[in-house]
Structure 1
Amino acid sequence: MAVTQICAALIFLMVMGGFFTVAADDQARSEIRFAVAAQFPPYESRNEKGQLVGLNIELGNALCAQLKVRCTWVDQVFAGSIVALEQRRFDAIMGMASTPQRRQLIDFTEDLYPLTTHLVARKDSGLVPTVRSLRGKRIGVLAGSNREAFAQAQWAPAGVIVKSFWLNDQLIRSLVEGDIDATLQGTIEIREALLDTPYGQDFKFSGPAVVGEQLGNGVAIGLRKSGAALRDELNRALEQLKQNGEYLRITQRYLMEEKPSAMSGRGDGPQFHSGASGLSFSEVVRVGNTLYLSDVLGLDERRNPVKGGAPAQMKQAMSILRETLERHQSSLAHVVKCTLLLTDLDDLSQVNEVYLSYFLSDRLPARSVLSVRRLPRRALVAIECIAVTHDQEEPRSQAISLEESTKPPATK
């Protein structure tokens, strides 16, 4: 009987504790305490007088003014911000990518602004953001960031060396000094931190924007799951700032470089993307959201057909095709039409078996098969495709699991 009474008392205390926590988060407020990691200009940093400046600071102050509350900024190391939020050291995290992994732990407002991510490396490195290009290379990321989560989940299992840094300044210094080969960074912040400085003249964006579920598409304000009232207040204030023009006044000075990426590269005319130097054609031509890909052969790094006959060459060609699509914000799940070219139609059954293993059974592209007398480099098979791009993370094909880890990232 005593045990039953004790258990009942514990349950009562837990319920009441949860009630008081929710009540504390939902009560009328006179202040919002925002966590800030002041090392990311132009989003958030300190000027020569030690004053907080940047896009996130201006937006946070504007939201507080709209809500008629005091805005208090709390310095916080970014990597520990979610734990500190749960420990109630502050009310909200200002400027955090809203990803599915983080949404399992905390709540988020509507996105404040879009976010794009690029690989940055030396101009002569030849690196692009694919597993094949980065295998064995050292890629720097900020500890606890969405880029760390992406790199650990998508690249590390395939042999890419992911190095995490507590401070972005340390990361940039390691890149300049050659201790790492590349870094995964937000488009605007890496311009401010490196590319637009004298130290950044030898570096550039390598390949197209990197996309993935772990990266997210936008930056929002992170809150405790018990803070629904504060979330709703901030969302209403954000909408009011957009309606009265204050949001545009603040953001237009910072976000000009994000707009093309936020529109997923849509343009009025075709965009021509060359492949290896010396080729007489483009690897990919993009018109709107449609990608037209040139023939892909199953060649090795020396541009020779891989050994093993038509099936082995087809597997290599499909692997190259997949990586090409990923570099251009697409995937095998977004291929709409393919043409197979074979020098011997007797190879079709074996080639077809490989081909089908790379597509989901309910997402098979339209297809044609052509018999040709000869292919470049004396290859036995080639494939050309048309695909569309995606704005969000796509369904994964069956073959992606062969080289990429599907386990959740270990970071927040």
Structure 2
Amino acid sequence: MHTPIKPFTAAAMGLALSAGLAHAEKIHIGTEGAYAPFNFVSESGQIQGFDIDIVNAICAEMKVECEWSTHEWGGIIPALNANKFDVMAASMAITEARMEKVNFSDPCYFNTMRFAGLKDLGLKEATPASLKGMVIGTQSGSVAGQVLQEYFPDSEVKLYPKLGEAFLDMESGRLDLVLESKFTIGDWMADGVDCCDFVGQEFLLDGTIGAGLAFRKEDIDLQARVNTALATIIENGTYDKVRAQYFAFDIMGQPQFVSQLYGQ
């Protein structure tokens, strides 16, 4: 069970929003709530995580009230475009295919992918040749799934509606490896999991700009306002204070692309 991380600004911002912004503009924010440490639902039912704290800081900078809701990952873009919420904050990688459906903010961080494999396998590297015939899991609809389909055709790929289901299968030995965000895998392994180790190098999908917030195509003004607020919290140090609550390292540096590792 993931141990909830105390949000950096949740309590203070909640008081400010309820006391000083009772009649302020309200913006509805959608997230998945199943992608720790970026977004997750605590045992008490609160939506928490890095995504949530960063967007709460953006809301405070914009002086607006933000209301949160959770949605299934597989339908989260359709839900945004169906007006179920106004902004998606779900650590979504910015890709050309997704930009055809929604607009994105400037990158909030670079979410690199990495393999984790069973320790008993003794793997030293993660290449198409070294992983031939192995069973690799990831979340359906994720960019990791695209990487596995394109670059690891000789591996068996298993897709899961929720990443936590893949982690459970790893712990029970039904998968040889998982491929996903190094942050999320690291958070899972740090929670007392001893079955697995990182294998190989981290990388980004070609054309991926980073992870950002998503908006409906017509909401250009809201997108611009959020980008301005994001730039402000980065400049004034608020972003780094939030980041330090979750990661002891820089998450804005851009690593190499997958084609540089596995391309022909």
Q: Which residue of 2 aligns with 1:222?
A: 214
Moved more, 229-238 or 200-209: 200-209
Match of 1:181 among 164, 176, 180: 176
Report deviation, 1:66: 1.1
Q: What's the counterpart of residue 116 of structure 1?
A: 112
Which residue does 2:191 correspond to in 1? 197
Query: Does 1:162 find its partner at 2:157?
Result: yes
Q: 1:257 to 1:162 in 2, by over 3 A?
A: farther
Number of the residue aligned with 1:84 = 79
For the pair 1:238 / 2:234, whether they are aligned, the reply is no
Equivalent residue letter for 1:147: A
Task: For 1:120, give the aligned amino acid.
Answer: A
1:213 to 206, 213, 224: 206
Secondary structure of the residue aligned to 2:204 is: coil
Name the aligned partner's letter for residue 123 of structure 1. Answer: K
> Which one of the candidate residues 242, 262, 271 is aligned to 2:253?
262
Please identify the structure whose Cα radius of gyration is greater. Answer: 1
**Alpha-carbon distance between aligned partners in 1 of 2:146 and 2:67, rounded to the nearest angstrom:** 29
TM-aligned CA deviation for residue 142 of structure 1: 0.6
Shift of 1:217: 4.9
Partner of residue 129, structure 2: 132
Q: Give the match for residue 58 of structure 1.
A: 53
* Cα distance between partner residues in 2 of 1:394 and 1:93: 28
Match of 1:142 in 2: 139
Could you tell me how far apart the structure 1 residues matched to 2:53 and 2:218 are? 26
1:139-198 Cα offsets, whole Å, 9 max, x none, are 10111112112222322xx222111101122111111111111000211211222x1133
* Cα drift, residue 253 of structure 1: 2.1
Question: AA paired with 1:116?
Answer: T
Q: Is 1:175–1:181's contact at 8 Å kept on the other side of the alignment?
A: yes
Q: Does the Cα contact within 8 Å between 1:116 and 1:217 map onto a contact in 2?
A: no
Partner of 2:38: 43
Partner amino acid for 1:229? D
The yes-or-no answer on 1:253 pairing with 2:248 is no
Tell me if the contact between 1:118 and 1:209 (Cα under 8 Å) persists in the aligned partners: yes
CA distance in 2 between counterparts of 1:75 and 1:246 reads 25
Which residue identity does 1:136 align to in structure 2? G
In structure 2, what is the equivalent of residue 308 of structure 1?
none
How high is the sequence identity, in percent, across the aligned residues?
25
- Deviation readout 1:48-69 (Å, 9 max, x if unpaired): 3211221111111111111111
Give the Cα–Cα distance (whole angstroms) in 1 for the partners of residues 219 and 92 of structure 2: 16
Contact 1:129 1:210 in 2 (8 A): no
Following the alignment from structure 2 to structure 1, what is the Cα–Cα distance between the partners of residues 107 and 181? 16
- Say what the alpha-carbon RMSD is for the aligned residues: 2.3
- Residue 213 of structure 1 deviates from its aligned partner by 1.6
| CA spacing shift, 1:104–1:173, aligned 2, 3 Å | same
Question: Structure 1 pair 172/396, CA: closer, same or farther in 2 (3 Å)?
Answer: closer
Closer, same or farther in 2 for the Cα pair 1:31/1:63, shift >3 Å? same
The total of aligned residue pairs comes to 239
Counterpart residue identity of residue 242, structure 2: I
Give the secondary structure class of the aligned counterpart of 1:124: helix
After superposition, the Cα gap between the structure-2 partners of 1:74 and 1:263, relative to the gap in structure 1 and judged at 3 Å, is closer
The alpha-carbon distance between structure 1 residues 211 and 64, as it changes in their structure 2 partners (threshold 3 A), is closer
Whichever residue aligns with residue 145 of structure 2, its letter is E
Shift of 1:395: 8.4
Gaps in structure 2 of 5+ consecutive residues = 1-23
Counterpart of 2:118 in structure 1: which amino acid?
A: R
What TM-score does the superposition give when structure 2 sets the normalisation length?
0.82
Q: Alpha-carbon deviations, 1:117-143, whole Å to 9, x = none?
A: 110001232443321122221110111
- C-alpha separation between the residues in 1 aligned to 2:261 and 2:185? 30
Aligned to 2:97: 101
Which secondary structure does the structure 2 equivalent of 1:209 belong to? strand
CA deviations over 1:193-225 (Å, ceiling 9, x no partner): 2x1133x213100111133327x3521101112
Instruction: State TM-score, norm by structure 1.
Output: 0.54
Residue 256 of structure 1 and its aligned partner are, at CA, apart by 2.2
Is 1:114–1:218's contact at 8 Å kept on the other side of the alignment? yes
**Matching residue of 2:65:** 70
